[in-house]
Chain A
Amino acid sequence: MADLHFELVTPERLVRSEDVYMVVVPGVEGEFGAMAGHAPVMTVLKDGAVKVYKTAGSQPESINVSGGFAEVNDAGLTVLAESAEG
């Protein structure tokens, strides 16, 4: 299965732009994992950790974000956050 294109952008810079297996995003109405082919969603995020799984079954890399929102569309997952560190 093709990988999910994941982009994490803050006003200061483009933090991540890479192809990954899965990303778990802390939406305001619950966390959800986005993989390639996910249905289009747009959600506001809670402040918390975005977990990036590079490959299936690998240890997640977590990035703390605050004040963000996420959009999943055909092109992949885009997380826009006011600040990100991790």
Chain B
Amino acid sequence: MASLKALKLRIGSVKSTQKITKAMKMVAAAKLRRAQSNAEAGRPYSERMASVVASLASRVTPGPHSPKLLAGTGKDETHLIVLATGDRGLAGAFNTNIVRAARKKAQELEADGKKVIFYIVGRKGRPVIARFYPKAIASQYDTSAMKAPAYANAQEIADDIIDRFESGQFDVAHLAYANFRSTLLQEPTVDQIIPVKPGAASATPAGGAASPAVEYEPDEEEILKALLPKNVAIQIYRALLENAAGFYGSQMTAMDNATRNAGDMINKLSIKYNRQRQAAITTELVEIISGAEAL
């Protein structure tokens, strides 16, 4: 049985841990609000972009001259998984879930006989992937220096990925991130970003179908050429924003749980402490009384 002093120390340390988790929860809540409004502000752009690309893509029949980003390289051998995770831990299973989704995808692809390589964005994905696929990490992008994801960062990542695509390092690219549904629910998602999925194009015939006689300046192919790289950038940007919001949401929940657990633990330890203290007093009393009787 632990001594009174040890119990007291233990209670003290749990209390200070609770203070830290409580503070982290509050910080996460404040940051979540900002990240969430950022994510919401970014949505109109990506939605419009998606509908424009979809309506354009449905117009252009993929041929030998159409942009590679739309038609693909014609092969389906090497797959790139862009793994976007947070930079920090202490956020419950947030990072683990994204990595798990990416690994599941990788296993599926490998089962089909494809080669899988990884492009890592954010710090937390690297160790796991490095353990399971030590030779498959193509590159990584360090996001730890930035406070909130900026479009410029997404563009850099997209440019790098597109360069690799153009030089034939891979044929298909997927993006793994966590879709921010709510504070309590972040959904790990793996989306195909290169080439543009034909399924997505036919599923959302937004502006295209309603207005058949659209005039294009310059022609469709030229617009697509300008648009597709932007589309990749915007998808990555959206993933970064969703991740940021999801991360803080997850951290808030995790820290809330931790605070509550610490509270429970303090209660239990206090009860134990009080009992022991009482027992010590009782023993002492018994000793004194029996001593007095002996006289």
Chain A residues closer than 8 Å to B210, beta-carbon distance:
73-74
Among B152-173, those with CB < 8 Å from A are: 154-155
Chain A residues closer than 8 Å to B146, beta-carbon distance:
none
Mask of A30-43 contacts with B, CB within 8 angstroms, 1/0 = 00000000011111
Q: A27-B217, A40-B215, A41-B215 are in contact. Are A71 and B52 (CB under 8 A)?
A: yes
B215 and A9 form a contact (CB under 8 A): no
B217 and A41 form a contact (CB under 8 A): yes
B41 and A14 form a contact (CB under 8 A): yes
Residue B69 at the chain A interface, CB threshold 8 Å: no
Could you say which of A10, A42, A75 contacts B216, with CB atoms under 8 Å apart?
A42
Question: Which among B88-96, B219-227, B266-274 touches the partner chain?
Answer: B219-227
Residue B234 at the chain A interface, CB threshold 8 Å: yes
Kindly state the separation between the CA atoms of A39 and B79 in the bound complex, as whole angstroms.
Answer: 42
Residue of chain A at shortest CB distance from B41: A13
Smallest Cβ distance from B217 to chain A, in angstroms?
4
A9 and B218 form a contact (CB under 8 A): no
Residue B48 at the chain A interface, CB threshold 8 Å: yes
Kindly state the separation between the CA atoms of A71 and B215 in the bound complex, as whole angstroms.
Answer: 10
Chain B residues closer than 8 Å to A83, beta-carbon distance:
151
Residue B49 at the chain A interface, CB threshold 8 Å: yes
Chain B: residues with Cβ within 8 Å of the partner, total of: 29
Among A44-77, those with CB < 8 Å from B are: 44, 67, 69, 71, 73-75
A80 and B52 form a contact (CB under 8 A): yes
B48 and A69 form a contact (CB under 8 A): no
Residue A86 at the chain B interface, CB threshold 8 Å: no
Among B162-208, those with CB < 8 Å from A are: 207
Chain B residues closer than 8 Å to A78, beta-carbon distance:
48
Q: A9-B45, A73-B211, A80-B52 are in contact. Are A44 and B234 (CB under 8 A)?
A: no
B207 and A71 form a contact (CB under 8 A): yes
Residue A82 at the chain B interface, CB threshold 8 Å: yes
Q: A9-B45, A80-B52 are in contact. Are A40 and B214 (CB under 8 A)?
A: yes
Smallest Cβ distance from A23 to chain B, in angstroms?
16
Could you say which of B151, B211, B215, B223 contacts A12, with CB atoms under 8 Å apart?
B151
Residue of chain A at shortest CB distance from B151: A11
B215 and A39 form a contact (CB under 8 A): yes
B213 and A40 form a contact (CB under 8 A): yes
Chain B residues closer than 8 Å to A10, beta-carbon distance:
45, 151
Kindly state the separation between the CA atoms of A78 and B47 in the bound complex, as whole angstroms.
Answer: 12
Residue of chain B at shortest CB distance from A70: B217
Smallest Cβ distance from B37 to chain A, in angstroms?
9
Chain A residues closer than 8 Å to B155, beta-carbon distance:
82
The 4 closest A-B pairs by CB, nearest first: A43-B217, A13-B41, A40-B214, A40-B211
Subset of 5 A-B contacts with CB under 8 Å: A11-B46, A14-B41, A27-B217, A44-B217, A73-B207
